[in-house]
Amino acid sequence: MSTTTTPRGTRTTPSMMSSVGLVAGREISVRMRSKAFLISTGILMLAVLASVMFGGLASQNPELTKVAVIGSSADAASSAIAGTDSLEAVTADSLEQAEQMLRDGEVSAIVVPSEDAASANPVTVIGLDQAPSDVVGALSIRPTIELLDEPGQNPFLIYLVAIGFGLVFFMSAMTFGTTIAQSVVEEKQTRIVEILMSTIPVRALLAGKVVGNSVMAFLQIVAIAALAILGMVVTSQKVLLGTLGSSVIWFVVFFAIGFVMLAALYAATASMVSRSEDIGSVTSPVMILVMLPYILVILFNNNPTVLAVMSYVPFSAPVGMPMRIFLGTAEWWEPLLSLAILVVTTVLTLALGSRIYSNSLLRLGARVKLTEALKR
């Protein structure tokens, strides 16, 4: 067996993959030793777990559910409610008034006697857009179920899910993106980058930063998703878990790719300045791209047109497409098409970011203009 020896005093240059691995490992090590990062991550994870657990415990200890019964037939309908310890009858003068009370949220359902006296179901339960399972479960008889509107998700639940997706995306992208930008400028200020570039290719330096921080962001998102699922299992929210599970998985997949794109932009834009005071001004366009999905998904969480547009725009797809999957408005092929667009955009962004980073990293002093950073 033959071995290759290196003459004493000769400097060996690590390969591209080794260089990327070294830089990525350094980034992960620095993050893991950062108390601020560990504390903020712990707070975010506990907040997610607490919100899920609180929602589950609150649903297990509900107040009396109000149901409307109609004047002339109130006695017949109330007899079906009698004996339950979770339903409260509210009398309405007519079916139209009861329906309006249901639409206004004053009652959860309407209980009326069955039109067919010989029917096996003595009463009919009328819901808004989904079967009122709590009312049906509380009755000692099996009623007929009718809906006023087409089935849909609970608006309040939609709002909470929108805030969850938007906030997790916003917090993780901002936290790790800002960390990348500060790291790049710090290395320029201290001239450490000159030492690093003497042994490591500049593209490997950028790739290592992106890979290291992307791994940490991905692990954070996976941990948050796992805690949310665990919380739903512990509190027996199986219906919500079945509805939300697939959208959470897609959110993790979209975020993993989308953050790589954002990380490259943060590193590239930060390399154009040499002072920490200038980071905010140069990275503000990227920060806007991170904030917009969070704002839009809260304002238009149940608007199919806005969500459809968001699901195909690469910067908002990690939030828009999981929301459409949760609402059931996305066809089976749409997440795949949106993911393909995001992957292509990420590859192009990496190429663009690599050029800006390579042309700006060793330029100290005044801010590098974008046109100069893009030149070969």
Beta-sheet pairing, 123-127 with 109-113? antiparallel
Mean pLDDT across 280-293: 92
pLDDT the model gives residue 2: 43
Closest among 8, 24, 132 to 68, alpha carbons compared: 132
Task: Give φ, ψ of 275 to 5 degrees.
Answer: -125, 145
pLDDT the model gives residue 109: 80
pLDDT the model gives residue 150: 57
pLDDT at 251 over 70: yes
Measured CA distances, 118 to 81, 113, 221 (Å): 20, 11, 56
pLDDT at 346 over 80: yes
pLDDT the model gives residue 76: 52
Q: How would you label 76-113 residue by residue, b for 16+ Cβ within 10 Å and e otherwise?
A: bbeebbeebeebebeebeeeeebbebbeeeebbbbbbb
pLDDT the model gives residue 84: 59
Mean pLDDT across 241-264: 89
pLDDT the model gives residue 119: 57
pLDDT at 311 over 90: yes
Give the pLDDT band of residue 268 (cuts 50, 70, 90): very high
pLDDT at 282 over 70: yes
- 120 burial (CB, 10 Å; 0-12 / 13-18 / 19+) is exposed
pLDDT at 271 over 50: yes
- Answer with the residue of higher pLDDT: 132 or 43: 43
Edge-to-edge strands of the sheet including 65-70? 87-92, 65-70, 109-113, 123-127, 144-147
What the block records as the tokens of 82 is 């009698």
pLDDT digits (tens, 9 = 90+) for 63-102: 667 777 775 555 555 555 655 556 777 878 888 888 888 8
- Answer with the residue of higher pLDDT: 156 or 360: 360
Q: Name residue, tokens 């366009």.
A: 285
315 contact partners, CB below 8 Å, separation of at least 6: 258, 261, 262, 289, 290, 292, 293
pLDDT at 365 over 70: yes
Question: Radius of gyration over alpha carbons of the chain, in Å?
Answer: 28
pLDDT the model gives residue 325: 92
pLDDT the model gives residue 141: 62
pLDDT at 11 over 60: no
Percent helix, percent strand, percent coil in the chain, to nearest 5: 65, 5, 25
Mean pLDDT across 9-36: 81
85 contact partners, CB below 8 Å, separation of at least 6: none
Question: Cα 245 vs. chain centroid, distance in angstroms?
Answer: 12
CA angle 218, 48, 292 (to 5 degrees): 65
pLDDT the model gives residue 3: 45
- Answer with the residue of higher pLDDT: 237 or 329: 329
pLDDT the model gives residue 209: 92
pLDDT at 57 over 50: yes
Give the pLDDT band of residue 151 (cuts 50, 70, 90): low
Mean pLDDT across 295-324: 93
CB atoms within 10 A of CB 227: 19
Least confident of 213-217, 238-242, 296-300: 238-242
**What domains, with CATH codes, occur in the chain?**
19-56+154-374 (no CATH), 64-147 (3.40.190)
pLDDT the model gives residue 82: 58
Closest among 363, 28, 29 to 188, alpha carbons compared: 363
Helix (H) or strand (E) holding 92: strand 87-92
Q: Are 161 and 327 in contact (CB under 8 A)?
A: no
User: What is the SS3 assignment for 12?
Assistant: coil
pLDDT the model gives residue 100: 85
pLDDT digits (tens, 9 = 90+) for 111-141: 777 666 555 566 777 877 777 766 766 665 6
Give the pLDDT band of residue 196 (cuts 50, 70, 90): confident
Please, what is the average pLDDT of the chain? 81
Q: pLDDT > 70: what percent of the chain? A: 78
User: What is the SS3 assignment for 111?
Assistant: strand
